[in-house]
Amino acid sequence: MSADGVLHVPDNPIIPFIEGDGTGVDIWPAAKLVLDAAATKYHKTIEWKEVLAGQKAFDETGDWLPEQTIADFREYLIGIKGPLTTPIGGGFRSLNVALRQILDLYVCLRPVRWFQGVPSPVKRPEDVDMVIFRENTEDVYAGLEVQAGTPDAEKLRAFVKEAFGWDVREMSGLGLKPISEFGSKRLIRAAINYALSHDRESVTLVHKGNIQKFTEGAFMKWGYQLVKEEFDDVAVGWDDCDGKPGSKLLVKDSIADITLQQVLTRPREFDVIATMNLNGDYLSDALAAQVGGIGIAPGANINYVSGHGIFEATHGTAPKYAGLDKVNPGSVLLSGVLMFEHLGWSDAAEDIVNALEATIADKIVTYDFARLMDGATEVKCSEFASAIVDRL
Ligand code: NAP
């Protein structure tokens, strides 16, 4: 990363990877096969460097998230990971959340689009083409929560009564939901920059500001403020143009509950979406369901200022399928495609997407799609990857 914020990528970068627990042993080699083949077409070679996290790390080092792993991600900027087991009583709420917080990966990027031939529960899945920017470091995920009946909860209950006159029922768990101006603006800035550089028409700020005025409502207010402060020449807020932005990028907002309806009934009205952590969590899974489910939904966690990015499968470890060479490698593979795009390797990225679509169009699919398609040939995880490579 240079001082001007541009990522300079050699033709043979070293990229750390976490294989992942459970089905990680199946999906990672499958994804790697396709990523390597696509890179080779463009005379690029990735030197993969395994770094440890999760069960494998614990078994080999006694540590769920070794310091060396963090150091490697810091040094090499970019990395990719399979799913990780959440350690029970291991000192971490979640390894994924820990990685995001330690590296301050403030954007969770979730593009949601349909690939030709993928079975979908909706009539026109081709209308779904959205990119979610979910804030990754704040909101109820910040971990400020106390358990009902504990001395901490009683202390907090007494404090809010004394300081604010708030009556909280006895035996209540309590949590804090921090939403800051800094956190909101940097997330929305990233979403607007993405929309501008990818020729998108709008950014929708999704919030529940009608009820949570000073957290979610403030997120929306800061978003519109940012448009005026930093993007006045290229973007415009809905109220300032009556919804008619001309050649500028339109920034609008939508209440979270109606958004969940409208992404289903009127998906074409949504393009880039910027939202807080919890809304983003709900929205990305709901949307993924419309275009084929979590077996194929990619994700990335990015800090656009430092250049750090970890690209990851969005599903879990699916332990019942571990080692069976059965599950869909699409999620981690398409996360690799996002990584290639981030590296500026857009030709190789596009080739993978085309080859994946061609494979599905030929009805060569893993079990999750096969059970929803007529006349499909069900193949193993590794065979699916080979079929994609054949079509590259
Ligand atoms: P999960 O592993 O995502 O599995 C839930 C279901 O999703 C599976 O039973 C399977 O559905 C489907 N599925 C998952 N991966 C798939 C794939 N690659 N291809 C096709 N279908 C796939 O969720 P979970 O069982 O709730 O969680 C298991 C563990 O994963 C937990 O330890 C959890 O904490 C962890 N987790 C990690 C991450 C992460 O690392 N990013 C995310 C979520 C959960 P069918 O049974 O219908 O076939």
Q: Distance between CA atoms of 389 and 35, rounded to whole angstroms?
A: 9
- DSSP calls for 297-345: -EEEEE-TTT--EEEEESS---GGGTTSS-S--HHHHHHHHHHHHHHT-
Strands (E), the chain: 14-18, 47-50, 78-81, 107-113, 129-135, 145-146, 174-175, 202-207, 235-237, 249-255, 272-275, 298-302, 309-313, 364-365, 377-378
* Sign of the Cα pseudo-torsion (79, 83, 88, 94, in order): positive
pLDDT tens, position by position, 275-294: 999 999 999 989 988 988 77
What does the pLDDT look like over 71-92, one tens digit per residue?
A: 999 999 999 999 998 776 556 6
**Rounded Cα–Cα distance for residues 297 and 171 (Å):** 39
Alpha carbon of 233 to ligand 1 centroid (Å): 44
Active site residue 257: yes
Q: Which residue's CA lies nearest to atom 47 of ligand 1?
A: 368
Residue 29: pLDDT above 60?
Answer: yes
Q: Letter for the amino acid at 237?
A: G
Active site residue 185: no
Nearest CA to ligand 1 atom 24: 316
For 101, the 3-state DSSP assignment is helix
The answer, yes or no, to whether any atom of ligand 1 lies below 6 A from the CB of 23, is yes
CA 15 to ligand 1 center in whole angstroms: 25
Longest dimension (CA), the chain: 69
| Ligand 1 pocket mutation, candidates 94, 317, 372, 378, criterion most atoms within 8 A of CB | 317
Specify whether the CB–CB gap between 389 and 34 falls below 8 A: yes
Question: Using an 8 Å Cβ cutoff, are 68 and 36 in contact?
Answer: no
Average pLDDT of the segment spanning 135-149? 92
In this prediction, residue 103 carries a pLDDT of 92
pLDDT (average), residues 215-241: 97
CA-nearest of 303, 284, 302 to 293 is: 284
Q: Report, as an integer, the average pLDDT of 171-192.
A: 97
* Dihedral angle over CA of 316, 322, 323, 324, nearest 10: -110
Can you read off the two tokens belonging to residue 86? Answer: 């959440």
What pLDDT is recorded for position 118? Answer: 85
pLDDT of 96 higher than 90: no
- Confirm whether 281 is a catalytic residue: yes
Give the model's pLDDT for residue 90: 56
Global pTM value: 0.91
Query: For 337-361, what is each residue's pLDDT tens digit?
Result: 999 999 999 999 999 999 999 999 9
Residue 93 has pLDDT above 70, yes or no: no
Give the model's pLDDT for residue 85.
Answer: 86
Q: Whose CA is nearest to atom 36 of ligand 1?
A: 316
Task: Report whether residue 328 contacts ligand 1, using a CB cutoff of 6 Å.
Answer: yes
To test ligand 1's pocket by mutation, which of 291, 312, 315 has the most ligand atoms within 8 angstroms of CB?
A: 315
Strand, helix or coil at 129?
strand
pLDDT per residue as tens digits for the range 185-201:
999 999 999 999 999 99
| CB within 8 Å of 386: residues ≥ 6 apart | 33
Handedness of CA 345, 30, 381, 20 (dihedral sign): negative
Ligand 1 centre distance from Cα of residue 238 (Å): 39
- Check pocket membership of 55 for ligand 1, CB cut-off 6 A: no
